[in-house]
């Protein structure tokens, strides 16, 4: 709720009392554009909060950020053994398939889960300092994004070791998929962080919901397996209505590359849909636009709920 | 001069819950209709603060002064009404709020300043000044969790005052830290005053408000009940405190009126310190006996009475000694014509320096201030024991006691 001074530097010769000062208002309600402008003014705070979360997370640990690589690496190893060696799912290059989907999912999950508890967790700050509180939720998504960047190393290692080149037909869609995913995560993050102040169960509920959500997204199993069965009931659209599904598919199409490869048991396996890049472009564009509208709604709801934060915390 | 803060009919209501239902189950059971009372923390507050003014907000606990300050800072949004703030506002509601214990002092400066709305570039420009003010030196690279509470407070204060605020909001934060730090904070506040910055200061210590503020507002039960020069506002506050705490024995209204009429005729004429007029200033040695002779006159030559309060301030405006006849549970001073009230201090433990004195007369029943007078530099303390000092004086003896003897072979 503060106004930036255009070029307000500390005057070395003391304080001038006659300069023109901007006026700002403290009002019961702020419009959504005002709120977003306010968030933009505090973008340096967003950077500082993200840096803080990363510094604090692996502080005093010998391996530091390598832990954030070991976590998905272990996950991939276990699932590889269970699904490929024990259950014999027959997907070739299963480690890459897992790594691509998991990379996108981890960004979404850790961002949303971290954000849900962010306002309650920072209650000391919320009650004592004035700043746009949405930043707390956005910082959770921001730090999840930084960890995402770390974890791309895991995927890169798999791609190099297993000698797989990203598909030039689809790899350009990855930034769009990322944008859509971040936009959707931010919208959900802002909404849930405010709701959690009033309904503290939200945090535990989200932990369970995200588990179901994880299995509703084609990460461990191939998209075609489930869509085949859903198509019989005409429910493929429902599968694709989950924004994380097209995002995961884009990642898989770009880095896993093959839609219908020869399986480890010698037969063709159907893994990814055979839509062309334009289909992905249309779907991702829709996700970005709808997520942006969702974000605006979330900021509005946040603004309505924010007024009573200090008494609820 | 222009208006720095304009508050237009601001109200803030809180919902008070008997029990807080925050879990889903409880919300579902009560279907969102949680029994609660509406508590008006602030009711229709309107005022203006001119630029360069130091305003004190006075009020007993629960009067709404902190709520008002939080509204001004933008931490709480008012239920109705509007606040216009001209210029950058820095709120010191809690020193070091937002410090992360695991980060270094340096990282916390950046984080804290960013929370207050400074850009990275602006913090870079101020960084050296902040470190210098905080006196942390090389410790700035240490994690904040290893800081003492004094270091913590110094760093928090340093960040806030170096934001170059046009308006500074201060809430009781000067109560923390050692005497040196408090002096430094007060000096900084005085510097801000001289530079013409606006300061809004909340305290329930009338002494501190008197030392800093030129004007003050009094809040009671969320309403603005009075405003004016600090001395008057403090008197009003004491009246409200009295009526609230039941010290007032509820005399008949007639008595009350009579007392009020009489007390208006009571005047404080002069004060002698150890036989010397306080206007001239007295030189004393530390730990010496002091006798004050306060000449009070009832000009209507009726038998009036009043309570008497004596305050001794040090150079930085801190009330070191305060004696109040009402709080000493004494009878009011009877004033028949001209009297001399004598106040004796057995030995005054004042360190070397100059001290100001203030005498206040209060109406015995209502607690309303009748008269207040201040003598700047009334006492100069010289001498005292060499090498023993600080804010107050003491007698120090140092000797060695043998606890156990050991044979050195």
Domain locations in chain A?
32-312
Q: Residue B22 and residue A8: Cβ atoms within 8 Å? A: no
Residue B212 and residue B158 in one domain: yes
Rounded CA separation B11/B82 (Å): 9
Residue B284 and residue B176 in one domain: no
**B11 interaction partners in chain A (CB closer than 8 Å):** none
Q: Residue A201 and residue B76: Cβ atoms within 8 Å? A: no
B10 close to A25: Cβ distance less than 8 angstroms: no
- Give the chain B residue nearest A42 (alpha carbons): B117
Residue B46 and residue B164 in one domain: yes
Average pLDDT over residues A138-150: 94
Q: B34 pLDDT band (50/70/90 cuts)? A: low
Span of A47-61, B232-246, B382-396 with lowest mean pLDDT: B232-246
Average pLDDT over residues A263-271: 81
Give the highest mean pLDDT range of A194-198, B61-65, B179-183, B386-390: A194-198
Residue A2 has pLDDT above 60, yes or no: no
Q: Residue A199 and residue B80: Cβ atoms within 8 Å? A: no
Residue B228 and residue B265 in one domain: no
Q: Residue A129 and residue B87: Cβ atoms within 8 Å? A: no
Is B244 inside any structural domain?
no
Residue B179 and residue B286 in one domain: no
Is B398 inside any structural domain?
no
Q: What is the ipTM of this complex?
A: 0.77
- CATH classification at residue B146: 3.40.50.300
Residue A8 has pLDDT above 60, yes or no: no
- Give the chain B residue nearest A303 (alpha carbons): B77
Residue B11 and residue B112 in one domain: yes
Average pLDDT over residues B45-73: 86
Q: How many domains does chain B have?
A: 2
Range of the domain at B101: 3-237
Query: What pLDDT score was predicted for residue A207?
Result: 93
Residue B405 has pLDDT above 60, yes or no: yes
pLDDT tens per residue across span A27-40: 767 788 989 998 99
Average pLDDT over residues B80-88: 87
**A23 interaction partners in chain B (CB closer than 8 Å):** 84-86
Query: What pLDDT score was predicted for residue A13?
Result: 45
Q: How is chain A classified by DSSP, letter by letter?
A: -----TT-PPPTT---SSS---EEEE-S---HHHHHHHHHHTHHHHHHHHHHHHHHHTTT-SSGGGHHHHHHHHHHHHHIIIIIIIS----TTHHHHHHHHHHHHHHHHHHHHHHHTHHHHTHHHHHH--S-THHHHHHHHHHHHHHHHHHHHHHHHHHHHTT-PPPTTTGGGHHHHHHHHHHHHHHHHHHHHHHHHH-TTHHHHHHHHHHHHHHHSSSSS-HHHHHHHHHTTT-HHHHHHSTHHHHHHHHHHHHT--SSPBPTTSSB---S----HHHHHHHHHHHHHHHHHHHHHHHHHHHHHHTTHHHH-
- Give the chain B residue nearest A132 (alpha carbons): B115
Query: What pLDDT score was predicted for residue B262?
Result: 42
- Give the chain B residue nearest A131 (alpha carbons): B115
Q: B17 pLDDT band (50/70/90 cuts)? A: low
pLDDT tens per residue across span B340-382: 889 988 888 888 888 889 898 887 766 667 777 888 888 888 8
- CATH classification at residue B282: 2.70.50.60
* Test the A interface: residue of B51, B76, B81, B169 with most A CBs within 10 Å: B76
Residue B91 and residue B135 in one domain: yes
Residue A274 has pLDDT above 80, yes or no: yes
Query: What pLDDT score was predicted for residue B241?
Result: 64
Query: What pLDDT score was predicted for residue B258?
Result: 39
Average pLDDT over residues A221-249: 88
Residue A10 has pLDDT above 50, yes or no: no
- Give the chain A residue nearest B80 (alpha carbons): A28
Identity of the residue in B93, B100, B164 whose CB atom sits nearest the CB atom of A10: B164
Count residue pairs from A and B with Cβ separation < 8 A.
Answer: 147
A151 close to A98: Cβ distance less than 8 angstroms: no
Residue B184 and residue B73 in one domain: yes
* Test the A interface: residue of B20, B29, B85, B86 with most A CBs within 10 Å: B85
Rounded CA separation B335/B105 (Å): 59
**A45 interaction partners in chain B (CB closer than 8 Å):** 111, 114-115, 117
Rounded CA separation B200/B218 (Å): 13
Query: What pLDDT score was predicted for residue A258?
Result: 82
**B192 interaction partners in chain A (CB closer than 8 Å):** 15
Q: Residue B196 and residue A5: Cβ atoms within 8 Å? A: no
Average pLDDT over residues B53-79: 85
Is B405 inside any structural domain?
no
pLDDT tens per residue across span B233-279: 877 777 766 655 433 333 333 334 334 444 456 788 889 888 888 88
Residue B266 and residue B126 in one domain: no
Residue B31 and residue B152 in one domain: yes
pLDDT tens per residue across span B106-160: 988 998 888 888 888 888 999 999 998 888 888 989 888 888 877 888 888 888 8
Q: Of residues A214 and B2, which shows the higher confidence score?
A: A214
Query: What pLDDT score was predicted for residue B330?
Result: 85
Residue B272 and residue B187 in one domain: no
Span of A179-183, B15-19, B315-319 with lowest mean pLDDT: B15-19
Residue B190 and residue B271 in one domain: no
Q: B172 pLDDT band (50/70/90 cuts)? A: confident
Q: Which pTM value belongs to this model? A: 0.71
| Among candidate residues B203, B237, B271, the one where a domain is terminated | B237
Structural element, H or E, at residue B153 = helix B149-161
Question: Which residues of B, range 111-170, sit inside 8 Å of A by Cβ?
Answer: 111, 114-120, 122, 125-126, 129, 162, 164, 166
Q: A18 pLDDT band (50/70/90 cuts)? A: low
């Amino acid at each position: 709720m503060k106004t930036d001074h255009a070029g307000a530097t500390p005057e070395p010769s003391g304080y001038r009392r006659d300069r023109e000062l901007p006026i700002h208002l403290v009002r019961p309600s702020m419009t959504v554009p005002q709120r977003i402008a306010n968030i933009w003014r505090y973008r340096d705070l967003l950077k500082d909060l993200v840096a803080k979360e990363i510094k604090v997370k692996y502080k005093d640990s010998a391996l530091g950020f390598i832990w954030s690589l070991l976590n998905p690496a272990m996950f991939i190893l276990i699932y590889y053994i269970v699904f490929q060696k024990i259950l014999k799912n027959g997907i070739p290059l299963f480690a890459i398939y897992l790594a691509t989907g998991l990379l996108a999912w981890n960004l979404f999950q850790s961002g949303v889960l971290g954000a849900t508890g962010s306002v309650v967790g920072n209650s000391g700050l919320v009650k004592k300092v004035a700043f746009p509180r949405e930043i707390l939720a956005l910082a959770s998504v921001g730090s999840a994004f930084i960890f995402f960047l770390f974890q791309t190393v895991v995927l890169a290692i798999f791609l190099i070791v297993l000698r797989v080149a990203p598909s030039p037909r689809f790899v350009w869609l990855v930034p769009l998929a990322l944008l859509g995913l971040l936009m959707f995560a931010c919208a959900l993050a802002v909404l849930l962080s405010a709701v959690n102040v009033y309904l503290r169960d939200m945090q535990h509920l989200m932990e369970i919901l995200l588990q179901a959500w994880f299995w509703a997204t084609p990460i461990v199993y191939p998209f075609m397996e489930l869509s085949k069965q859903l198509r019989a009931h005409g429910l493929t659209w429902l599968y694709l209505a989950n924004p994380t599904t097209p995002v995961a598919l884009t990642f898989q199409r770009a880095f896993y590359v093959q839609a219908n490869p020869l399986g480890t048991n010698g037969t063709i396996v159907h893994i990814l849909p055979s839509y062309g890049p334009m289909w992905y472009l249309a779907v991702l564009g829709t996700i970005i636009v709808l997520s942006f509208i969702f974000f605006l709604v979330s900021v509005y709801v946040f603004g309505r709920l924010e007024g009573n934060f200090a008494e609820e915390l | 001069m222009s208006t720095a803060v304009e508050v237009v009919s601001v109200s803030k209501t809180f919902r008070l819950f008997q029990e807080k239902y925050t879990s889903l189950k409880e919300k579902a059971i009560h279907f969102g209709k949680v029994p609660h009372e509406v508590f008006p923390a602030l009711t229709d507050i309107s005022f203006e603060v001119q630029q360069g003014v130091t305003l004190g907000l006075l009020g007993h606990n629960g009067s709404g002064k902190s709520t008002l300050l939080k509204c001004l800072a933008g931490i709480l949004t008012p239920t109705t009404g509007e606040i216009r703030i001209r210029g950058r506002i820095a709120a010191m509601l809690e020193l070091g709020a937002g410090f992360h214990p695991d980060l270094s002092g340096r990282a916390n400066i950046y984080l804290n300043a960013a929370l207050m709305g400074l850009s990275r570039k602006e913090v870079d420009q101020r960084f050296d000044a902040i470190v210098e003010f905080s006196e942390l030196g090389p410790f700035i690279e240490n994690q904040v969790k290893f800081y003492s509470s004094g270091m913590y407070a110094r760093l928090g204060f340093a960040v806030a005052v170096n934001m170059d605020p046009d308006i500074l909001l201060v809430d009781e934060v000067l109560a923390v830290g050692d005497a040196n730090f408090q002096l430094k904070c007060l000096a900084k506040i005085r510097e801000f005053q001289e530079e013409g910055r606006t300061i809004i200061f909340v305290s329930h210590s009338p002494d501190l408000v008197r030392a800093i503020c030129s004007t003050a507002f009094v809040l009671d039960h969320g309403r603005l009940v009075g405003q004016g020069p600090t001395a008057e506002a403090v008197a009003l506050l004491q009246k409200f405190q009295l009526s609230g705490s039941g010290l007032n024995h509820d005399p008949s209204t007639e008595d009350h009126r009579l007392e009020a009429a009489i007390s208006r005729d009571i005047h404080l004429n002069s004060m002698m310190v150890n036989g010397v007029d306080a206007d001239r200033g007295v030189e004393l040695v530390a730990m010496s006996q002091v006798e004050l002779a306060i000449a009070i006159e009832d000009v209507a030559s009726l038998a009036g009475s009043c309570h008497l309060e004596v305050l001794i301030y040090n150079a930085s405006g801190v009330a070191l000694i305060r004696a109040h006849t009402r709080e000493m549970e004494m009878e009011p001073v009877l004033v028949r014509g001209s009297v001399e009230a004598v106040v004796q201090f057995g030995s005054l433990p004042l360190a070397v320096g100059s001290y100001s004195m203030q005498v206040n007369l209060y109406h015995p029943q209502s607690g309303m201030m009748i008269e207040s007078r201040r003598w700047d530099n009334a006492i100069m303390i010289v001498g005292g024991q060499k090498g023993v000092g600080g804010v107050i004086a003491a007698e120090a003896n140092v000797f060695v006691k043998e606890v156990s003897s050991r044979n050195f072979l």
